[in-house]
Amino acid sequence: MAVVVDPKDSLFWFGTSDAMPTDQYFLLAFATAGPAAAPAWEDLVEVIAGRSAAIPALNKRLAESPAGIDYPRWVHHAADMGECVHRLVDEGSTSSTPEATRQWSTCVDRVEELLASTLDATRTPWQLHIAPDVVGVPDVDGRATIVFVRFSHVLTDGLGGAALLRALFGRTPNPADAEVAAASEPHEPGAVGWRLRDFGRALGRLVRLPSALVATAVAGRRSARPSDGADRPTAPLRRASINTCGAGVRDVTVLPIPRRISASQRFTVTQIALCAASLATERLLIRRGEAPDSLAAAVPVAVRESVQWVGANRFATAVVGLGVASSTALDRAETIRSSLATERRRLVSRDAITMMRLVESVPRPILSRYLRRGPGMRTEFVPAHMSVTSVNCGVADMELSGGPAVMVAGFPCLSPDIGIGLGIYGLGTTVTLGVLTSPDAVPDADEYADLLRAALDELAVTIA
């Protein structure tokens, strides 16, 4: 059976560009005892080479359809460490001293540069960028080895990416983690036979498309009726000044989430972090003279395993109301909890799944033309005001060359209409808030980071 990329995954492949990257990003810190204990570069590469060789997802690449009318397919391709493993900071650069390259701020500057580009999955769907012996890492005492990991979003979703990290760095790897996104063809697509299969698949999708469109329309009308008891989607949201994002520069900040929040018995860390994002963003807009009557976040929600799903990216996007009209922080957090629960129920309904699966019946030429037609006309309404992801990377059981993982951070994708992305990433009891912003939306990234930090500290006292 040919391992053709599902159209739901190809939404990232055909919709991506260097101007608007859609990779997944993980930033890890592995503690080291000091300069003498920092692993040598050659040892780091050897460890990564040995571990990655046993992970099928890290030994494949995308190959284009020979006929050009079907979706690309995964083919086996042994990982090349020269392509996949790089220095995060070039210590041989004449623009900085060796001491400067070991600063956390220098690493962040380089990460910001990498966030402006997209992996070419026809060469490799993953890359690691490593900086040993770094000081000044948030919430980390002493020195650390910093690893910035990029996965092509065509490969898998956030939970799958976390599983691949555990397979790559886990002290006692779980075999199931190494099997994520494992399937691939043993060889490159050929000429005549593959072309015939491509034409057959494209024709099959084209034949199924009309009935899929009808089923989607029926499901859409049915889900919009309040009488059937279904939860209705969020109403249209008005554009704010943060709803813009151009190409190029990005700003990155990593904020430790107070332990009192991550240990809260009252709300989940995701709910409290969303509340902090709500407070900070509202205050930012008020400073600009805007008075938002509503704010909402696009939040990926995992599609449960019992749901028939073809793509590797098993998630749907919830639009979570952030409770701006609430009078107190507690009311705001309760509103967010209720909105998140409502959206989760809506997204697992039969009608919602039917609508999300429409893309499975869309032939490649139609989908790629739609996605690459360029940005549409700017309207007063937006799908959400920010993007927020939440990923639990598991227990703190990862290491690199003997150094234990002590922190992981991550950042969601931005889009032309969303210039703020927040990532809530946990490792054991340590949780961080990764902040990714576009200068178009947030000219002063430090100001916004300060607002988020203050909101987290406030909520740690008032509602956690």
Please state which of the ranges 115-124, 246-255, 365-374, 379-388 shows the lowest mean pLDDT: 365-374
Please count the structural domains in the chain: 2
Q: Please tell me the distance from the alpha carbon of residue 258 to that of residue 432, in angstroms, as a whole number.
A: 9
Is a pLDDT exceeding 60 seen at residue 157? yes
Provide mean pLDDT across the span 445-459.
97
303 and 419 belong to one structural domain: yes
Residue 333 and residue 220 share a domain: yes
Which CATH number is 205's domain given? 3.30.559.30
Question: Residue 384: what residue type?
Answer: A
Return the percentage of the chain with pLDDT > 70, whole number.
92
357 part of a folded domain: yes
Tell whether 360 and 427 lie within a shared domain: yes
Residues 444 and 439: their CA atoms lie apart, in Å, by 7
Residue 38 is classified by DSSP as: S
Helix (H) or strand (E) holding 207: helix 192-224
The domain boundary residue, chosen from 151, 181, 211 = 181
Question: Which structural domain range is residue 85 located in?
Answer: 7-181
Between β-strands 24-32 and 403-411, what pairing exists: parallel, antiparallel or unpaired? Answer: antiparallel
Minimum mean pLDDT range among 83-92, 129-138, 162-171, 382-391? 83-92
Whether residues 161 and 283 fall in one domain: no
- Report CA dihedral (130, 136, 140, 145) to the nearest 10 degrees: 20
Q: Does any domain span residue 241? A: yes
Phi and psi angles of residue 330, each rounded to the nearest 5 degrees, phi first:
-65, -45
Q: What is the pLDDT of residue 193?
A: 77
Does residue 188 form part of some domain?
Answer: no
Distance CA 374, CA 110 (A): 29
- Nearest-angstrom CA–CA distance, 397 and 429: 12
- What burial letters (b/e) apply to 296-310, b meaning 16+ CB within 10 Å? bbbbbbbbeeeeebe
Give the pLDDT mean for 113-135.
92
The answer to the question of residue 65 being in a domain is yes
Shared domain check, 130 and 230: no
pLDDT at 371: 76
pLDDT bucket at 228, cuts 50 / 70 / 90: very low
Let me know whether 159 and 214 are in one domain: no
Report yes or no: 177 and 164 within 8 Å, Cβ to Cβ: yes
* Segment 401-418 mean pLDDT: 92
| pLDDT band (50, 70, 90) for residue 100 | low
Contact 145, 131 (CB under 8 A): yes
Residues 239 and 98 in one domain: no
Listed in sequence order, the residues at least 6 apart from 221 whose beta carbon sits closer than 8 Å to its beta carbon are none
Q: With 60 as the cut, is the pLDDT of residue 180 above it?
A: yes
Q: Quick one: 395 and 336 in the same domain?
A: yes
Domain CATH code at residue 101? 3.30.559.10
Q: How far apart are CA 220 and CA 217, in angstroms?
A: 5
Q: What is the pLDDT of residues 44-81, one digit of tens each?
A: 999 999 999 999 999 999 988 887 888 998 999 999 99
In a shared domain, residues 90 and 25: yes
Question: What pLDDT shows up at residue 197?
Answer: 84
Q: pLDDT tens for residues 290-302? A: 988 899 999 999 8
Confirm whether 238 is domain-assigned: yes
Three-state SS at 106? helix
58 in any annotated domain: yes
Residue 36 lies in a domain: yes
CA distance linking residue 123 with residue 331, whole number of Å: 49
CA 456/CA 277 separation, integer angstroms? 9
Q: What's the mean pLDDT in 425-437? A: 95
pLDDT of amino acid 14: 73
Residue 35 — φ and ψ, nearest 5°? Answer: -55, -40
Across residues 155-179, what is the average pLDDT? Answer: 93
Q: Report helix, strand or coil for 451.
A: helix
Rounded Cα distance between 146 and 38, Å, is 11
Residue 30 and residue 406: Cα distance in Å, rounded? Answer: 6
- Write the CA distances from 323 to 193, 339, 448, integer angstroms: 56, 9, 19
Residues 158 and 233 in one domain: no
Burial of 317 (0-12, 13-18, 19+ CB in 10 A): middle
Asked if residues 315 and 302 have their Cβ atoms less than 8 Å apart, the reply is yes
Tally Cβ neighbours within 10 Å of residue 41.
Answer: 13
Q: What confidence score (pLDDT) does residue 95 get?
A: 43
Please tell me the predicted confidence (pLDDT) of residue 368.
83
| 100 vs 50 pLDDT, higher one | 50
The confidence score (pLDDT) of residue 32 equals 86
Bridge-partner residues for 418, per DSSP?
415
pLDDT of residue 18: 53
Band (pLDDT 50/70/90 cuts) for residue 1 is very low
Assessment of whether the complete model's pTM goes beyond 0.85: yes
Whether 132 is covered by a domain: the verdict is yes
Residue 237 sits in the same domain as residue 315: yes
Residue, of 279 and 229, whose pLDDT is higher: 279
66-84: burial string, b at 16+ Cβ within 10 Å, e else: bbebbbbbbbebebeeeeb
Domain endpoint, select from 147, 181, 215: 181
Residue pair 258/456 in contact by the 8 Å Cβ criterion: yes
Q: Are residues 229 and 302 in the same domain?
A: yes
